[in-house]
Amino acid sequence: RAMTLIETAKMNDLDPQAYLADVLDRIHDHKINRLDELLPWNWTPTTEATRENAAA
């Protein structure tokens, strides 16, 4: 399952590490009816994830 998430992130031109770190940080308080926002093709990074990605 983890590899599926990583490969799907890559297919959507995302940095898999930044994507997974951000989603895992946000998922615990994300509304259940809005989980589709965290899917790789809908994901918008938080400001912190954007900074980490730019620094890499």
Q: How far is 15 from 22, CA to CA, in rounded Å?
A: 11
What is the C-alpha separation between 51 and 55, in angstroms, rounded?
A: 6
How many structural domains comprise the chain? Answer: 1
CB count within 10 Å of CB 56 equals 8
**What residue numbers bound the domain in which 28 lies?**
2-55
pLDDT by residue for the chain (56 residues), tens only, comes to: 889 999 999 999 999 999 999 999 999 999 999 999 999 999 998 866 555 555 55
Predicted structure pTM score: 0.75
Please tell me the distance from the alpha carbon of residue 48 to that of residue 33, in angstroms, as a whole number.
24
